[in-house]
Amino acid sequence: MATILIENLTKVYPPTPTYPQQVQALGGVSMSVTGNVFVAVLGPSGSGKTTLLNIVAGVEEPTAGAVRVVQDGVPAQVGYVFQEPRLLPWRSVLDNMLYVQNRKSDRSKREAEFYLSMVGLSDVAHLYPAQLSAGMQQRVGIARAFLVNPDVLLMDEPFSHMDALTGRSLRDYLQRIWAHTRKTALFVTHDVGEAVELADRILMLRPGGVVFDDIPVNLPRPRRPDDAAVHAVETEVLRRFDSMEAAVRFGDQRN
Amino acid sequence: MSYATDLPTTSEFGQVPGTPQGSPAEAVHWTRKPWFVNALAVAILLVVWQYLHSVNGRVPSIDEVVSFLGVELGGGSHGGVSRGEFWGPLSISLQRYAIGLAIGIPVGGLLGLLIGGSRRFRSVLNDTVLVLLVLPSVVWAFAASLWFGIGSTAPVVAVVLTAVPFMAVNLSSGIRGLDPGLALMSDAFRVPRLRRATHLLVGGALSNAVTGVRLAFMTSWNSLLIVEWFGTASGVGWRAKHWYDAQRFEGFVAWILLFVVFITLLDWLVLRRLEHRSTRWQQQPTLTFAEGEIA
Amino acid sequence: MAYDTSVTPDAVADLSAREIRRSVMGRWGLRAGVVIGWMAFIGVWYVFSGAVLGTQQLPPPHTVAAEVWQVVTGDGFGTTLWASLFRVIVGCTMALSASIVLGMVIAYSAWWRGLLGILTRFFVSIPTVALAILALILFGASGLGPMLTAALVATPYVMSSVAQGLTRVDRRLIVMSESFGRTRSQIITGVLLPSSVLAVIGGARQAFALAWRITLLTEVFASSDGVGFQIKRSFESYDVRGLLAWTALFIGLMFIFENFVFRQLERRAFGGAHVSLATAESTR
Ligand SMILES: Nc1ncnc2c1ncn2[C@@H]1O[C@H](COP(=O)(O)OP(=O)(O)OP(=O)(O)O)[C@@H](O)[C@H]1O
Ligand SMILES: [Mg+2]
């Protein structure tokens, strides 16, 4: 069983010649997630969502605080869908999949092809990334994250680059496979509807990287974006954002 | 044709790799056929040449040069003055060229890897490599022939010293231009080091490395000729100078033509093909002769 | 709230002070690297001069520095420099003007691109030393040769980088302009020229660097004054000291132009925004 344990995580970027002020991306985030939980991290642009995922993935060092991502006591295998597609432009789609495949076997190629077909891209396996649309590239990124058979799934606004229709059907698909595999998931988004539709729990960030709320979503699955219950939670989430904004604007300006 | 679609979609006057060629049924006007454009270019060059001949008596005419070439290549007698020589000077120069490049390209490549891969190495070595790059090759030619005399050492050293900075600068800028997000992605997926080296580093910097190789070939050929002209008594540069000193300008021009043919064949048959292959994945049209300097 | 998310401002300030120290130290480390690099360069020069080639063959750095001083303070330095600089400026201007016109032509006409492509490839593969000697045959030692050769050699390169700058112009802007019924000339002045200033400045920079090198080389053959001529004279009298001194002066001059003239031009064109990026890049 996978566990993500985050304690008082702080990230401050030092000033640079271009931007001579330090930036606090995360201001003491703490949380723990164990088992088959789908957590959405919801926050406006610049609130440190990407920074949080990068640190959890172990590709960035925190300024302070600690992160542990373990599966049965050993470091967990992470599948990361980045905010941009991040494909090697000089390798074909299929080779990009194989690039991250660490347990090589004679089935590697067939597995890669399977996950490509899952996102509807069987036909373009031999094209270069530049020959795909932005949404198609992002779907390769999603297939790639599943290919490594991750214990923990990290997703950074995976549907923001594609049209609403494709996004909707992929979201649907993600719900179904998640229900099937139930990997521990950390899903970053700025779309309230998306968060409510997918998550068991919504972590709300405000600029400065501070968690100001943590809402459980106890709705039966599969959920539809037009369910009344989903709507009700969305309204509640938005209300809490508004009151946070009011508090930041009119009183508590510290961060 | 609309203005926007008239913009080039070709990669260096050719087809963008990976895109289908226009359908064969589509008729191309004969003035747009490649053979016509090629022939026109050759005709323009010949007319300009003949014009220069007619206004300046020191410029040899086309047929003088052609008949001289025949004698020089065939080893015949130049009007009783001396015998034609071609393969001797050529093989000597090619040897120097090959040895120089065989040393210069790996050394430059190694420097490029260090400078591109590590900020520390970059801070230490970058200025030295830039000074080497800015130095005109005539200075190398002079210095090398003063140091090493008229043997083969000076031309080889000049070739090495010209090739090294071109290789180093191109490779290192290729490595530094790699998207850091890709390294991050590889970290996140725990991609092992060896695969990262072959797919990320080599894949990404290959086209720059090939460009560096191409420029090293082109520029060091020039350096070789300069050293041979000033400081040796053998090789193709020396042979061109021989005819120049004898005031046989048709001989001199004939040798220049040979230089051009040699480097053009090398470029078209080998170097450009390599470059084309290594940039196949790029969809952006490129129109340059690559970033680089000559002389 | 389920978690205590409060951080004291002091704690963050303390933590970030550490990060700042680390990054500043990194930057100083790199500056130290540059100094080490130059010291190594000069050290290797001393070693070669003292132990490998001999001080006669390769004078040590301080001797060359003294020679530079002598050349700069001696008579005729200004005349020599101006002779070369004048040729470079004229050659560079010719190359740049031709390149802007030809660059536009090849950027927007496939036919001319084909024709000029073949012609320029031909010129690019003539070794520059051959061009320099042809200039001597055609123009004698008049000084016209270096100028024209520089222009001729620089043009293909500058032309292609100008054309590349033009083709990088966002096509969507052109499509947009067409959809609003703008004319060809309106598109050229409204979209193409503003977005290709960068390419033209880059082209000027390239033209300048190339023109210097070619002028120098051609002066070696076909001139009786200028920096190239001085370099040849040093060579012919086995004067390595003079050769290296003039070379050092040449490199210094290139450095000055690159850092003062072209940086200033770019600053004008980009209203300062670009410059801070450039410095950020150079301190990294
Ligand atoms: N490498 C960096 N150097 C300096 N500052 C950075 C760096 N990366 C992020 N930041 C800053 O940290 C803050 C948070 O950035 P982050 O990318 O985590 O935001 P985000 O919530 O993912 O935003 P978005 O929704 O727009 O993707 C921003 O203010 C950003 O400017
Ligand atoms: Mg983000």
* A7: CATH: 3.40.50.300
Q: For residue A157, what pLDDT is reported?
A: 92
Contact residues, chain A, for C12 at CB < 8 Å: 10, 12, 24, 27
What the block records as the tokens of C96 is 């740049």
Are A120 and A176 part of one and the same domain?
A: no
The alpha carbon dihedral of A221, A228, A155, A159 has a sign of: positive
Number of other residues whose CB lies within 10 A of the CB of residue C212:
28
Among B188, C268, B251, B256, residue whose Cα is nearest residue A99: B188
For residue A16, which atom of ligand 1 is closest to its CA? 4
Q: A74 in helix, strand or coil?
A: strand
Q: How distant is the Cα of A214 from the closest Cα of chain B, in angstroms?
A: 27
pLDDT at B81 over 60: yes
For residue A52, which atom of ligand 1 is closest to its CA? 18
Q: Compute the C-alpha angle C138/B253/B271, nearest 5°.
A: 115
* Contact (CB<8Å) A100/B282: no
Contact residues, chain C, for B230 at CB < 8 Å: 235
pLDDT band at A178 (very low <50, low <70, confident <90, very high): confident
- How much of chain C exceeds pLDDT 70, in percent? 84
* Contact (CB<8Å) A22/C20: yes
Domain end point (choices A131, A149, A167):
A149
CB of C283 less than 8 A from some CB of A: yes
CB neighbour burial string for B88-126, b if at least 16 within 10 angstroms, e if fewer: ebeebbeebbeebbebbbebbbebbbbbbbebbbbbbbb
* Better-predicted residue by pLDDT, C268 or C31: C31
Q: How far is the CA of A47 from the centre of ligand 1 (A)?
A: 7
Cβ(C29)–Cβ(B120) below 8 Å? yes
Separation between Cα atoms, residue B261 and residue B267, nearest integer Å: 10
For C265, half-sphere exposure in the C-beta direction (CA atoms, 13 angstrom radius) is: 14
Among A50, A65, A48, residue whose Cα is nearest residue A205: A48
Of B18, B185, B200, the CB nearest to A128: B18
Give the position of tokens 């020089």.
B72
Strands (E) located in chain C:
none
Separation between Cα atoms, residue A145 and residue A152, nearest integer Å: 10
Interval B186-214: pLDDT, tens = 999 999 988 988 889 888 888 888 888 98
Nearest Cα residue to atom 28 of ligand 1? A46
Among A45, A49, A62, residue whose Cα is nearest residue A11: A62
Query: Which range is least confidently modeled, A226-230, B125-129, C182-186?
Result: C182-186
* Contact (CB<8Å) C125/B260: yes
Separation between Cα atoms, residue A86 and residue A57, nearest integer Å: 15
Q: What is the pTM of this model?
A: 0.78
Q: How far is the CA of A20 from the centre of ligand 1 (A)?
A: 15
Q: At what angle do helices A49-57 and B180-188 cross, to 10 degrees?
A: 50
For residue A44, which atom of ligand 1 is closest to its CA? 25
- The mean pLDDT of C218-246, rounded to a whole number, is 88
Q: For residue C171, what pLDDT is reported?
A: 67
Separation between Cα atoms, residue C236 and residue C229, nearest integer Å: 10
Q: For residue C273, what pLDDT is reported?
A: 38
Separation between Cα atoms, residue B206 and residue B278, nearest integer Å: 6
Which chain A residue's Cα is nearest to B194?
A: A99
Among C67, C206, C217, residue whose Cα is nearest residue C131: C217
What is the domain partition of chain C in residue ranges?
19-58, 63-282
Interval B214-251: pLDDT, tens = 888 888 888 898 889 888 888 888 888 888 888 888 88
Q: Which residues contact C176 (CB under 8 A, 6 or more apart)?
A: none
Looking at mean pLDDT, say which of B181-185, B212-216, C146-150, C176-180 comes out highest.
Answer: B181-185
Nearest Cα residue to atom 26 of ligand 1? A45
Q: Specify the fold of B87-281.
A: MetI-like fold (1.10.3720)
- The mean pLDDT of A130-135, rounded to a whole number, is 86
Separation between Cα atoms, residue B254 and residue B233, nearest integer Å: 19
Which residues span the domain enclosing A129? 85-149
Determine whether domain C63-282 maps to CATH 3.60.40.10. no
Q: A42 in helix, strand or coil?
A: strand
Are A142 and A156 part of one and the same domain?
A: no
The count of domains in chain A is 2
pLDDT at B160 over 90: yes
Pocket of ligand 1 (CB under 6 A): A 13, 23, 25, 43, 45-51, 83, 190
- The mean pLDDT of A60-67, rounded to a whole number, is 90
Cβ(A55)–Cβ(A67) below 8 Å? yes
Are A179 and A56 part of one and the same domain?
A: yes
Are A67 and A168 part of one and the same domain?
A: yes
Are A109 and A233 part of one and the same domain?
A: no
* Contact (CB<8Å) A82/B182: no
Domain end point (choices A101, A118, A149):
A149
* Better-predicted residue by pLDDT, C102 or C14: C102
Residues in chain A: 255
Are A138 and A155 part of one and the same domain?
A: no
Are A136 and A24 part of one and the same domain?
A: no
Are A12 and A56 part of one and the same domain?
A: yes
User: pLDDT averaged over chain A?
Assistant: 88
Q: At what angle do helices C227-236 and C197-222 cross, to 10 degrees?
A: 40
DSSP conformational letter for B14? B
The alpha carbon dihedral of A87, A90, A96, A101 has a sign of: negative
> Measured between alpha carbons, how far is residue C234 from residues A60, B55, C179, C230 in Å?
57, 35, 64, 6
Are A133 and A249 part of one and the same domain?
A: no
